[in-house]
């Protein structure tokens, strides 16, 4: 079966945002859909590139208007995947990539059963913790919460995702993802 929709999911601190940026530059024939969020931009993030940043009122209005293929509250912020573009790409048989959290990936799989799920895992919990701390934008309590949730997310990736990659080296991980997308 040829897959049209691909989802990349990963626990917090695993490198999915960096992977997404590289793939946007290197996979010109793939439509990488930008997610909406209510969280504040991190340093270096651009509206419309990394995420589409909106306030909670606007996000809730979009929910009412059924604008999302899936949406979730993650770490106190709303995240949503715009539905219209996915449907248009399916109709036109254009390969589409979503970089979303694990609960979002599983919701997309329910709506679009032919989706191909790619899970990214950190080399170790210690490395994941190091990456989270390096961001320097979370309290100790937030870091511990994310690491605890990551243990649950890891189980979902191992159980439900088609491919599981350990992100030891960003370049190697990106090449493996490109191969999966281009060959499925």
Mean pLDDT taken over the chain: 93
Confidence of residue 159 (pLDDT cuts 50, 70, 90): very high
Q: Which residues contact 107 (CB under 8 A, 6 or more apart)?
A: 69, 70, 72
Residue 118, helix vs strand vs coil? strand
The torsion angle over the Cα atoms of residues 87, 8, 106 and 96, rounded to 10 degrees, is 10
What is the H or E stretch that residue 36 is in?
A: strand 36-37
Pick the CATH number of 5-183 from 2.40.128.520, 3.40.50.2300, 3.40.470.10, 3.40.50.300: 3.40.50.300
CA 142/CA 115 separation, integer angstroms: 31
Token pair 């990394």: residue: 50
Confidence of residue 67 (pLDDT cuts 50, 70, 90): very high
Confidence of residue 75 (pLDDT cuts 50, 70, 90): confident
Query: Residue 100 to residues 19, 70, 71, 72, 92: CA-CA distances in angstroms?
Result: 12, 10, 10, 10, 22
Look up the pTM and report it.
0.91
Task: Answer whether residue 1 shows pLDDT above 60.
Answer: no
- Residue extents of the structural domains in the chain: 5-183
If one compares 136 and 6, the residue with the highest pLDDT of the two is 6
Tens of pLDDT along 32-60? Answer: 999 999 999 988 889 998 899 999 999 99
């Amino acid at each position: 079966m040829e897959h049209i929709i691909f989802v990349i999911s990963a626990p917090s601190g695993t490198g999915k945002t960096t992977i997404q940026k590289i793939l946007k530059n290197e996979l010109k024939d793939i439509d990488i859909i930008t997610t909406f969020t209510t969280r504040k931009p991190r340093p270096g993030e651009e509206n419309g590139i990394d995420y589409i940043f909106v306030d909670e009122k606007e996000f809730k209005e979009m929910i009412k208007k059924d604008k999302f293929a899936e949406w979730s509250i993650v770490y106190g912020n709303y995240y949503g995947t715009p539905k219209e573009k996915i449907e248009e790409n399916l109709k036109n048989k254009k390969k589409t990539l979503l970089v979303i959290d694990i609960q979002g990936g599983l919701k997309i799989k329910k709506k679009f059963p032919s989706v191909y799920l790619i899970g990214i895992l950190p080399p170790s919990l210690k490395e994941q913790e190091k990456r989270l701390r390096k961001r320097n934008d979370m309290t100790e309590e937030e870091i511990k919460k994310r690491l605890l949730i990551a243990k649950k997310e890891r189980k979902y990736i191992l159980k439900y995702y088609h491919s599981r990659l350990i992100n030891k080296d960003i370049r190697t991980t990106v090449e493996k993802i490109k191969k999966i997308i281009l060959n499925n």
